[in-house]
């Protein structure tokens, strides 16, 4: 299986390139790049008021208001501090501003943090409910994050665990089948690791935790449930837990697509082999052959002698 990167490589590459240009006294050019990420996220890297030494990194998330209810603004202030531009660029939720003339010595660390902008926006809701679990707080309202148009994430904390549920929509029946096989492998994999979280998969109907909600049901709807225990939500482990779980939906659908590509490539290979066999089995065209004297050549039929018989 392939692990997706939690950072955005495009952001890191552009910032690193611009910093290297400043360090080598190379003439700077204006930058204006817009690109997409998973979950409908849009990034925009540009110069502030055409100042080549000031670069903005902006992010637009359709579900940012949901994250703000769970402390996203405070977490970003903690992580990025003076890099945050207030207000953000028009049309975007968060903007980081880099002044290439006044970069600190640890600028490579800041570049890596910029690449984690989407991850850090997502992290606020997990950190909040991990704290609830650690303090033994119960009865808090369940977090509901509409991270895609028809897909939702639910987070709920109890004194002994944190439950994270992703709803996801499969495009067709083949996606459902591959998704079920993929999730079954996750269940089997847990048997080899007693420290792994519980992973449950429901198809068509939402799990019991969502029976009292407006959670969708249908033939192409699936629900993935993670049950995280204190060993997963402790301060020592929570960063890694957030890194892995916030991108799980994308991880699942990425592998569904990869599996379909592999199956199709195998089918094409088998079809190609079958066509070669058919071409070899195709009878030769009957053509009239002439001898050197101009007579028509008729090949003599061959009748193999059958053992155990004799001509009388």
pLDDT digit string (tens) for 171-213? 889 999 999 988 888 777 777 777 888 888 998 888 888 877 7
What is the spatial distance between Cα 247 and Cα 76, in angstroms, rounded to a whole number? 19
Q: How confident is the model at residue 307 (pLDDT cuts 50, 70, 90)?
A: low
Q: How confident is the model at residue 122 (pLDDT cuts 50, 70, 90)?
A: very high
Q: Are residues 161 and 106 in the same domain?
A: no
Last residue of a domain, one of 249, 266, 283: 266
pLDDT in tens, 265-278: 999 999 998 888 88
Say if residues 143 and 164 touch (Cβ distance below 8 Å). Answer: no
Give me the domain span that covers residue 156. Answer: 137-266
Supply the pLDDT for residue 312: 46
pLDDT in tens, 241-269: 999 999 999 989 998 999 899 988 999 99
**pLDDT average, residue stretch 286-304:** 68
Q: Are residues 169 and 247 in the same domain?
A: yes
Question: Which residue has better confidence, 291 or 106?
Answer: 106
Q: Are residues 216 and 206 in the same domain?
A: yes
Q: Are residues 172 and 150 in the same domain?
A: yes
**pLDDT average, residue stretch 106-121:** 94
Q: Are residues 118 and 177 in the same domain?
A: no
Residue 210 in domain:
yes
Last residue of a domain, one of 135, 165, 183: 135
Residue 215 in domain:
yes
Q: What is the CATH number of the domain that holds 188?
A: 3.30.1460.20
Q: Are residues 106 and 148 in the same domain?
A: no
Strands in the chain per DSSP E: 32-36, 42-48, 51-60, 94-99, 143-148, 151-158, 161-169, 198-203, 221-228, 289-290, 296-297
Say if residues 83 and 98 touch (Cβ distance below 8 Å). Answer: yes
Residue 299 in domain:
no
The alpha carbon dihedral of 178, 155, 125, 132 has a sign of: negative
CA dihedral angle for residue 217, residue 151, residue 180, residue 162, rounded to 10 degrees: -100
Residue 287 in domain:
no
Residue 250 in domain:
yes
Q: Are residues 203 and 142 in the same domain?
A: yes
Q: Are residues 125 and 2 in the same domain?
A: yes
Supply the pLDDT for residue 305: 61
Number of domains comprising the chain: 2
Q: Is residue 256 helix, strand or coil?
A: helix
Q: Are residues 80 and 162 in the same domain?
A: no
Q: Are residues 51 and 26 in the same domain?
A: yes
Q: Are residues 194 and 64 in the same domain?
A: no
Q: Are residues 163 and 115 in the same domain?
A: no
């Amino acid at each position: 299986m392939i692990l997706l990167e939690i950072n955005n490589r495009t952001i890191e590459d552009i910032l690193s390139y611009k910093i290297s240009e400043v360090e080598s006294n190379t003439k700077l050019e204006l930058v204006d790049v817009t690109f997409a990420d998973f979950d409908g996220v849009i990034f925009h890297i540009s110069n502030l008021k055409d100042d080549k030494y000031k670069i903005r990194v902006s992010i637009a998330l359709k579900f940012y208001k949901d994250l703000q209810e769970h402390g996203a603004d405070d977490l970003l202030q903690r992580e990025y501090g003076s890099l945050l531009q207030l207000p953000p660029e028009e049309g975007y939720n968060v903007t980081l501003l880099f002044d290439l003339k006044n970069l600190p010595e640890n600028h490579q660390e800041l570049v890596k943090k910029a690449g984690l902008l989407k991850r850090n926006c997502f992290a606020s809701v997990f950190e909040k409910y991990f704290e609830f679990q650690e303090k033994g707080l119960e009865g808090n309202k369940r977090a509901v994050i509409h991270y895609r148009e028809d897909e939702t994430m639910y987070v709920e904390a109890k004194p002994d665990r944190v439950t994270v549920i992703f709803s996801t929509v499969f495009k067709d029946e083949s996606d459902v089948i591959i998704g079920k096989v993929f999730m079954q492998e996750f269940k089997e994999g847990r048997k080899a690791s007693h420290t792994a979280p519980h992973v449950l998969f429901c198809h068509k109907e939402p799990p019991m935790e969502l029976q009292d909600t407006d959670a969708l049901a249908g033939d192409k709807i699936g629900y993935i449930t993670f049950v995280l225990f204190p060993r997963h939500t402790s301060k020592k482990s929570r960063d890694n837990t957030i890194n892995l779980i916030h991108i799980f939906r994308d991880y699942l659908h990425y592998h569904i697509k990869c599996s379909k590509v592999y199956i199709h490539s195998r089918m094409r290979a088998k079809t190609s082999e079958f066509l070669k066999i058919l071409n070899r089995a195709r009878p030769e065209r009957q053509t009239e052959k002439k001898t050197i004297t101009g007579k028509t050549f008729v090949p003599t039929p061959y009748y193999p002698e059958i053992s155990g018989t004799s001509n009388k």
